[in-house]
Amino acid sequence: MNEQLNWWRGGVIYQIYPRSYADANGDGIGDLQGIMNKLDYIASLNVDAIWLSPFFTSPMKDFGYDVADYCDVDPMFGNLADFKQLVDKAHGLGLKVIIDQVYSHCSDQHAWFVESRQDKTNPKADWYVWADAKPDGTPPNNWLSLFGGPAWHWDSKRSQYYMHNFLDSQPDLNFHHPEVQDAVLETARFWLDIGVDGFRLDVVNMFFHDAELKDNPVVSAPEQLFVGIDPSFPFCRQYHINQMCRDDNLAFLKRFRAVLDEYPGTTTIGEIGAPDGMTFMAQYTADGDKLHMAYTFELLAAQHDVAYIRDTISRVENKLTDGWPCFSLSNHDVVRSATRWASEETDPNSYIKAALALLLTLRGSPCLYQGEELGLPEGEVDFEHLQDPFGLEFWPEYKGRDGCRTPMPWDSSKHAGFTTGDTPWLPVDPQHIAMSAAVQEQSAASTLQFTRSLLRWRKDQPALHGGDFDWIDSDPNVLVFVRTVPTQRLVIAINLTDQSHGLEISGTPLAIAGFDASSNDSIGPYQVKAWTRS
């Protein structure tokens, strides 16, 4: 295997939410120049790549996940010249650049949709999922939107409904149409020619729908529940097997992979939100001819006890076979792991470090979300400052995604150094200021310094980049596993509890920065230990 071309296999990816990372022009919104200004900081973390959430032309009703032009930069973030400069600087620092691509749907302001909705005979008339109303005027089937209500919106111009899995301003593209697939592939080539190193594909399992528009059945078994969505939402009462997760997707993903193969060293990560997402994760990454990597939401859920984690990783290992996972504990759509998993009662600082060690030692490619290296908890956002349409729809039972999207705290100045403007697009949480990057730079015991040291240590462990994974039987309260390559057998023990536990592990102790290596037969609260074996 060519390690240089397969850098993604075990490489560490750092996710950036551009609106909230760094604002260089003082308008209160993060931008590409702000990211460029922080690339040296990112490189200092010892990660391998950055992933940028959408920065494309958009009306921002879903903050960039409603794309109006797939091949241009929204002016609030900069322009194409800025992006090219960012790519060049990142590459000069040894960082790969992965960008989001949102192909399932786009904005209703995209030129393709503007043309499609004009009439039923124009060249792009079938580029979206249009359907006539039932005789009683209701939508063509029972499909629901993740953002609430039917997945159909009536368009008076065409006198038809169009499908939308998310906001009604985000019409779904019709991937059954060959020209739509061709247009998407040309979009990919546009960014690959600029020099990006890969794509994170948003809701990759939602590209295709049942062409006959059959109703979804009602959920009748736990494995039919949608992972990653509050089960109390009406959306979760349906088994969405006709609305998404269609076998037609496999042929398209092969076409997409063929384009990536024209650009050696590039990669893809597929986001899979679905019932039994691991089955599709396995399908989409099998045989080396579709996605390079994929992830589901099991480790982004609230449940996180040792038994759950062990069961989840076991199911990934059993299902994935020759596929490759991408793991994350936080991202721009879920409550931050420092709040979701830890608590004041469990010593959050110590717990966060142990959880990061878990993320960075599993088989797969770990993804760190911005601020996770600081141990940031979920930000508090009052209703009057809320921006997320998901949160506005379901408040107060669900507060939306703004809490994980609050501005990155860089220092102790006004607005934590995120912007020199008067008002950031989301307020800075005051508790984050004391946890800023500048503050943590001054403390050898900080989460930031720990993350740097752990990632530096990880680079020197070949078994953690592409090694096999096997569990080792031990105390049921401790996660113990072995990672193996021909040149190294590495045993890892992780204690996510507040109690000490005994261990019976043979091997040569291997010190991990930030953790106690003094005892070989026990492991303390929130500690991580490693051994090498011949």
Distances (CA, A) of 97 to 94, 367, 471: 10, 13, 33
Mean pLDDT value across residues 379-402: 90
Note the residue count of the chain. Answer: 534
CA distance 285 to 409: 36
Task: Based on the residue annotation, tell me whether 202 is a catalytic residue of this protein.
Answer: yes
Q: Which CATH number fits the domain that encloses residue 520?
A: 2.60.40.1180
For residue 48, the enclosing domain spans 13-104+266-456
Predicted TM-score (pTM) above 0.95: yes
The mean pLDDT of 233-243, rounded to a whole number, is 94
Strand, coil or helix: what is 313? helix
* Residues of the chain above pLDDT 70, percent: 99
The total of structural domains in the chain comes to 2
| CA proximity to 370, closest of 17, 80, 129 | 17
Task: Let me know whether 308 and 418 are in one domain.
Answer: yes
Amino acid occupying residue 392: L
pLDDT tens per residue, range 157-195: 999 999 999 999 999 999 999 999 999 999 999 999 999
What is the chain's mean pLDDT, rounded? 95
pLDDT at 269: 98
Note the pLDDT of residue 349: 86
| Domain-terminating residue out of 456, 483, 499 | 456
Catalytic-residue membership of 473: no
343 in the same domain as 473 = no
Of the pLDDT bands very low, low, confident and very high (cuts 50, 70, 90), residue 228 is: confident
| CATH number of the CATH domain containing 328 | 3.20.20.80
Q: Does the pLDDT at position 326 exceed 80?
A: yes
State the catalytic residue, choosing from 168, 197, 202, 333: 202
Residues 333-383 pLDDT 10s: 999 999 998 876 677 889 999 999 999 999 999 999 999 999 999 999 999
Beta 468-471 vs 479-485: how paired, if at all?
antiparallel
pLDDT range class, residue 216, cuts 50, 70, 90:
very high
Integer-rounded Cα radius of gyration of the chain: 23
Q: Give the helix/strand (H/E) hosting 404.
A: none
CB 282 within 8 A of CB 250: no
Q: Give the pLDDT score at 108.
A: 98
Question: Averaged over 428-445, what is the pLDDT?
Answer: 97
- Selecting among 262, 289, 305, 516, the annotated active-site residue is 262
Which tens digit of pLDDT belongs to each residue from 23-64? 999 999 999 999 999 999 999 999 999 999 999 999 999 999
Say yes or no to pLDDT of 1 above 70: no
Range of weakest confidence among 303-317, 323-337, 508-522: 508-522
> Of 456, 477, 496, at which residue does a domain stop?
456
Same-domain pairing of 334 and 379: yes
388 has a pLDDT exceeding 90: yes
